[in-house]
Amino acid sequence: MAKTLKITVIGAGSATFSLGLVKDLCLTENLKGSVVSFMDINMERLENITALAERYSKELGADLRFEKMTDRREALQDADFVINTADVKGHYHARALRALTAQHGYYYGAAGIGSFYNFELMLGVARDIEAICPDAWLIQSGNPVFDGTTIMTRQTRAKVIGLCHGHYGYLHICQELGLDPAKVTWQAPGVNHAIWMTHFLYEGKNAYPLLDKWIQEKGPQYWETHVAERTHDIQMSKGTIRMYQMFGLMPIGDTPRQAAWWTNTDIETKMRWFGQPWGGPDTELARPVHVEGLEKRLAQVAAVSKDPSAKVSDVFGTTKTREQQVPIIDALANGVGGMFQVNVPNKGGVLEGVNEDVAVEGQAWIDQTGVNPLRMTPLPKKIMLTQIEPKVNAMERGILAYLKGDKELLLYNILENKQTRSYDQATAVLEDLLNMPGHEEARAHYSGRKK
Amino acid sequence: MAKTLKITVIGAGSATFSLGLVKDLCLTENLKGSVVSFMDINMERLENITALAERYSKELGADLRFEKMTDRREALQDADFVINTADVKGHYHARALRALTAQHGYYYGAAGIGSFYNFELMLGVARDIEAICPDAWLIQSGNPVFDGTTIMTRQTRAKVIGLCHGHYGYLHICQELGLDPAKVTWQAPGVNHAIWMTHFLYEGKNAYPLLDKWIQEKGPQYWETHVAERTHDIQMSKGTIRMYQMFGLMPIGDTPRQAAWWTNTDIETKMRWFGQPWGGPDTELARPVHVEGLEKRLAQVAAVSKDPSAKVSDVFGTTKTREQQVPIIDALANGVGGMFQVNVPNKGGVLEGVNEDVAVEGQAWIDQTGVNPLRMTPLPKKIMLTQIEPKVNAMERGILAYLKGDKELLLYNILENKQTRSYDQATAVLEDLLNMPGHEEARAHYSGRKK
């Protein structure tokens, strides 16, 4: 008989995420009977999602129990697992940020003040866990996963696992190459949003030659004719393949979004490298489509929750998602062991060339003994120098600026942006960013001159 | 009785350097009687400098003996010390490089193909030393000192000490602050061309407050009225002080030339940060003045060498230079111990946060036991992240590109330049650079696509 667990979800108003989680819990035999504590600061979303979750669970006969909380510390009482999926400022604030920085000559929000608000939240959650439920696992599911997992595990004793979807990009490669994923073995280690495919085997044999063949024979036509149906569909784009050629390994998932500044300067350049119709996920054309999708889902949640006659499972389905949260909970709590792609501190140096207190992403065997990361094949020196080290350096600068309240370092971080053309441009955009509505706490935090 | 030494000078045609060296040798009692082997590929310069050195030595009664060689391996026979001061391509090639890259939108030669030619020379010299005079010390006095000392000590067993003048910048600070250098204690560790003053004491007390007072009380007027008399006079410039404020320690010597890209974008910006009349040493206004000075010195050498009636010591003086080469030779050979600012591999980790096979710059006690680097006060994390790590990263990328003949990495290195605006610009300037007259060997080296 499996143990009854309490699972707390911070930022539970995120509809797609929470319903997916509930579905996975309902469909996981071991976890029936668990208590799910939904916590959010948005009461309306919280009520909708809780009502829906209760109906969902009943329809599937899963016997889950639900709580809804606006008080975080209350929600954490007796938690065995905490899933943090919150993004403090959200999509509308990000849009306002992009509009402001565009006035200073930055394309698509390239300049910013770092992760002040999400760091505050993450550290708040991790410290509450230390105080209230110190044995709980914190599954960090909101960005920045890399920086956040690193800072939380340095500043607190919370047990953190950072999760992301990016690694599923390998499935997209399989699909284009016509390979059955069940016969594919792969590894893509690195740090979150910078993972590079060190191993790609099909039926036990190196499949990189198949990729090279595709590039030569099918690539040009694909790049001319392919029209993305999802904004994030860039795994086989001209830009991603060019990065593979330049750096020597295939960048996976979110990696090509950030690996080369020269793909990210303006919409024409975006289209050139990431294709039709949006030029990848990070453009003024793509973002509204993505946010519209999220809003549709929220509206759907609201509509179904107001219609007691609707069957929730008809609307949201009865197949498991491919999210890792619930299987990881089942592994840790009930010993249903499995291999997962996770972000945890590089303790023991599983990824060579990265400090032990930096969160790295790679495969780990998880069961009741805990998270057991696989020692990764070292990444080629070229990728370490051009991709991993600069990314770790930027993460460290962001954390240091935050911890010290160092405005000069914020300025440096903006100056380092490839889109910054001059000192005056950087100082001006920083002032405007700190004076922006909604940034009052950040402004106060960075108001002293500390060194 | 001191031992008779053989000192070989590679690139001896560099007039100012060689005459200074001869003068220091003549004025160092222990080194009288030494054999100096001048080696250069320019026979005319070689003959002038050798003739002059002989007269100089006679005038000062130093009993030095001289050889002149165009064959490097011959010059290295039985050498105890080898001083390499050569720059393979020289000032005229650098000017042609700047003209070419300017056509692609780069200011003052910002894009390049790395140190291919100087690496070839340095490794050639170090390998010859391994084979011919393995116990000799190699005193590397030509740039790139950082990259060169690192690559030579990794690829060969030659004992290398890299030297630079930059650290004397602290004297300029003393001068402006009216401090007697004899009462000043200082340390400025880092890597060559990126050294930061961790200690600045006057009569045993922290002198940073005196600097801060100068900045507040005298800085503004200095920046408005100061007119440099030497192109390299930027130690107290507005730009250097701004870097001190931003990063928290004073950058010394050559450091502010490279520490902030935003001071180096165009001549107006250069003037703003580095002042009148040249905007620092790295501008189209300053460089001709500097090269003209070197040419004048060469013409002077030629004139004096053709005039047997002239007294060499009248023209070139009879006081020691402040160069470290000869005192270091005296320390290693004769035990006249002293403290020097040198570049040697970071063996034992004297500078925290830098790999042991990277050449670091700092103080070392040198005597007959060898070079004994002082364990340095760790640099603040902000300077490590913003200055040292990026500089080490760029050095490593340059060495890796060279060792692998990796054109894609050359391209990446150009893309990383803050002045690069687009992928197409970088690929175009790289092609033109590799096709430039004088770059035939480099083009061949980088012609394969290696990963």
**What's the ipTM?**
0.95
Distances (CA, A) of A133 to A295, A327, A420, B134: 34, 21, 44, 65
Write the residue in A386, A415, A451 that is nearest to B262 by C-beta: A415
Write the residue in B248, B393, B418 that is nearest to A390 by C-beta: B393
Of B378, B345, B389, whose CA–CA distance to B189 is shortest? Answer: B378
CA-angle at B369, arms to B363 and B371, nearest 5°: 25
A405 has a chain B CB within 8 A of its CB: no
A92 has a chain B CB within 8 A of its CB: no
Q: What is the pLDDT along chain B (451 residues), one digit of tens a residue?
A: 557 899 999 999 887 899 899 999 999 999 988 999 999 999 999 999 999 999 999 999 998 999 999 999 999 999 999 999 999 998 899 999 999 999 999 999 889 999 999 999 999 999 999 999 999 999 999 999 999 999 999 999 999 999 999 999 999 999 999 999 999 999 999 999 999 999 999 999 999 999 999 999 999 999 999 999 999 999 999 999 999 999 999 999 999 999 999 999 999 999 999 999 999 999 999 999 988 988 898 888 889 988 989 999 988 899 999 999 999 999 999 999 999 999 999 999 999 999 999 999 999 999 999 999 999 999 999 999 999 999 999 999 999 999 999 999 999 999 999 999 999 999 999 999 999 999 999 999 999 744 3
Of A243, A265, A267, whose CA–CA distance to A254 is shortest? Answer: A243
Cβ–Cβ gap A262/B381 under 8 Å? no
pLDDT of residue B305: 86
pLDDT of residue B297: 86
* Neighboring chain A residues of B406 at a CB cutoff of 8 Å: 382
Of A49, A64, A40, whose CA–CA distance to A125 is shortest? Answer: A40
CA A443 to CA A303: how far, in whole Å?
Answer: 39
Q: If contacts are CB pairs under 8 Å, which of residues 210-269 in chain B contact chain A?
A: 245-248, 260-263, 265, 269
Q: Structure tokens of B155?
A: 């690829």
CA A367 to CA A39: how far, in whole Å?
Answer: 27
CA B187 to CA B197: how far, in whole Å?
Answer: 6
Ranges under pLDDT 70 in chain A: 1-2, 449-451
End-to-end CA distance of chain A: 56
Strand partners, A140: A84, A162
Q: What is the 3-state secondary structure (H, E, C) of A253-287?
A: CCHHHHCCHHHCCCHHHHHHHHCECCCCCCCCCHH
pLDDT of residue A316: 87
Cβ proximity of A362 and A187 under 8 Å: yes
A353 has a chain B CB within 8 A of its CB: no
pLDDT of residue A243: 98
pLDDT digits over A365-420, tens only? Answer: 999 999 999 999 999 999 999 999 999 999 999 999 999 999 999 999 999 999 99
pLDDT of residue A294: 87
CA B287 to CA A225: how far, in whole Å?
Answer: 52
Write the residue in B386, B396, B420 that is nearest to A397 by C-beta: B386
For B268, other C-beta atoms within 10 Å of its C-beta total 8
Which residue type sits at B284?
A: E
Cβ proximity of B122 and B140 under 8 Å: yes
B288 has a chain A CB within 8 A of its CB: no
Name the residue in chain A with its Cα closest to that of B410: A246
Q: If contacts are CB pairs under 8 Å, which of residues 360-389 in chain A contact chain B?
A: 380-382, 385-386, 389
CA A87 to CA B222: how far, in whole Å?
Answer: 49
pLDDT of residue B2: 59
What are the residue ranges of helices labelled H in B60-182? Answer: 72-76, 90-103, 116-132, 145-155, 169-177
B409: alpha, beta or left? (left if phi > 0; alpha if psi -120 to 50): alpha
pLDDT of residue B450: 43
pLDDT of residue B301: 85
Of A304, A339, A361, whose CA–CA distance to A185 is shortest? Answer: A339
Residue bearing tokens 């999802």 = A230
Q: Structure tokens of B336?
A: 């006249």
